[in-house]
Structure 1
C-alpha cells in the first residue's frame, strides 16, 4: 500500500548547512510545503539568519521562538532535582533539550495543519531516537521524516555538492572537513567528531567555548550564595532571578573560574561508544550546591532512595523517554522529596574547584544537640546503641555459629 502523500512538514531548523540542505531536499523530494521551527534554547547564536535563509527558500510559515525560560524551568530544573548524571558524569545537556524541541514542533504541526515532522539527526546518533520517541508519545499517528536515513547524500562531499547545485549558501569553514561538531544550549555545549574521535588524545584548547582553563582562572576565589526553594535555585547572592537568568549567571561564574569541563566516553543508546567534550559550567555548580542543600534537609532513607533511582531516571532521559509514564512516575517521587529542600548554600569557586563554605535551612534535620560530643542534655541515650548493634548483628552471629564464612576476610 502506497504511503499517503505529505502535504506539509514542520522541520526542526537551525539554519546551518545540514538543515538547509534538508529543507531544500524536502521541497524537491516530497514536493511538499515546509514549515521551519527554530528554537532559541540559549545556544548563543544569532537566530535572525535562520529566518532569512528560510525566507530565501520560499518558506511561508517560519517559527523562531525564545524557549529559554521554559527550557530551564520545566526541563533542566526538574532534572536537577534528581541530581541527574548519566554514567556517573554526564549532565545530559543535549538529551534534556530534545523533548522541548519535539513538543513545540508537534504543537506547531497541529497549529498549521501539517501531516509530518522532520529532523536533522543522523542514523548513528541518539538524537534520532530522542526526537522520534517524543513525537510518537505526543502524536502517535504523526509521519516522521528522517532524511539522513533516506537520502543518498551519505558523505560531506555529496552534501556540499547538493548545496552548490541548489544555491544553498555555504560558510567558508564548511568547505571541507570541519574539525569537530558542536551542539549548544543554555545548559551546556558538547563537541564531538573529527579531531576528537581518538579518546587517547587530549582535546585542544580551541574546543572549549563555555569555560576558560582552570590554569587561566583568577588567583582569587569567587564567593557566592545560592538560595533554594522546593529544590530549585531561586537566587544568587540574595538576588532573586528567573530560571534562565539564574542559569546564565551561574554559567558566567563557572566560566570565569574554569569550572565544568568533562571529557567523556559514553555508551550511546544505539549501541556504540562515543567520545564527547562537554562544558556545563553553571550546571556543575548547581549540582554541587543542590546536593549540599539536600544533605541537611532530606531524610536519610528518602535521600538514599532518590540516589538509587537516579541512574534509571538519567538513562530514561538519555535514551529519549522524557514523555514516558515511567519517567513521569519517577519525577513525581523526586518532586515529593523536594518540599523541604529550602535554604542557602555558600560556595567558593576557585580554579576549577567548588568549595563548600556552609549551608543553612529552616527545614534542617541537622540537630547539634544530638550530634554534639559535649553534654547533649539527654537528647540521645548512648546506651540505646547497644541493643541497636546487637539486633543488627543477630544474622551475622547466627551465620557464624552455623559455620558460614560470612565474617572471614
Structure 2
C-alpha cells in the first residue's frame, strides 16, 4: 500500500526540484555579490534593522557574564585590599623603627658630643625598665659592677643631670632620678652664682629650691647648674630652669619651682660619669685646733720612748747653796769637763775654787744608784769623797 499525501496538500513542484532551484539561486547571488558588490547596501540595511534584536538576544548572556565578573572582581579587590593593608602595616612598622633608630642615633650623637666636653671619664648605658616601686622615681640600667659602676656615680644626658647611682648589682644598676623625693643636689644660679639645694617633688616631675630668702635674686627663666660642693657632681652641669617663684608674705622663706633640663622620662641612653671630682683634704676642726693650741701653751708634748731604749732617770732637784760640798746629788753632765788646777799661793779666798774640784769627780758614782734603781737592781756602794784640805 503506497502512502502519499492527500490531494489537498499536493502543491507545486517536488522537494528535489525546489532544492535544485534554491541552490542555483544561492550560487548566482554569491557570484553576483563577489563580482559586482551589489548586496553590500542590502546587508547594511539588514544589519541596521536587526541590531536591536541582536542586542536583546545578547542581554541574558551579558547579564550572566556581568554577574560572574562582578563577584570575581569583588573577590580579587578584597584580596588586593587585604594585601595593601598588610603592606601598609609593615611599612608603618618599618617607618616607626626607622624613626626610632633615627631618634636614637641623634641622641647618641648628642651624647657623644657631650661626652667629648666632659672633664671626667664616662660610660654609655641603656635604660632597661623603670623600677617596680610606683612611689619612687628610679630606672634600671644595663651596667653594673662588672663594668666598673660604683655607688654614688652621677648620671647625665646631653642636656643635663638625670640622677645618681644608688644601688649596684653585678650586671645592672639602679639610678634615682632628680625628681625623686629623697634626692637632693647642691646647685647655684648661672646668672648670679646664688647657691641653694634642689629637692625632688616626686610624681610632679619638678624640682624645688627650699628655704630661699624672700628677697633672693631669682627670676623665672634662670638656669640652675651644679655647684660641685658635694663632691659628687662636677660643677657647671645644667640641672633645671626656674619656672615659678613663690614668695611668701607671711613666712621668712620662699619657694622656687624648677623644671629639669635633662630627659628625665624620655631617654633610652644615658651617660654614667665614672669618677667624681677630687676634693681637697678636710681641714681640722676648730675644737681640735684650740685644744692643741692650749696644750702647747701649758706644757711641751713628750715623745713616747722608743723600743729597746730605757727611760731616763728623773732629774733631781737643784741643791741649795749652803749644802756640804761632798753630799750634793749631782746628775751626770752631758760632757764632763776637767777641773782647772788651783792656783799656787792662794790665800783664804782660794777656798771656793779648791772645793769645786771634788764636786765633779763623784758625778759618775753619784748617778749609779739612780740608774740601778731604774733597772730594778740593788744600788752599789758609793765611796764618800774626801774633804778638801784646808
TM-score w.r.t. the length of structure 1 is 0.19
State the structure with bigger RCO (CA 8 A, min sep 6), 1 or 2: 1
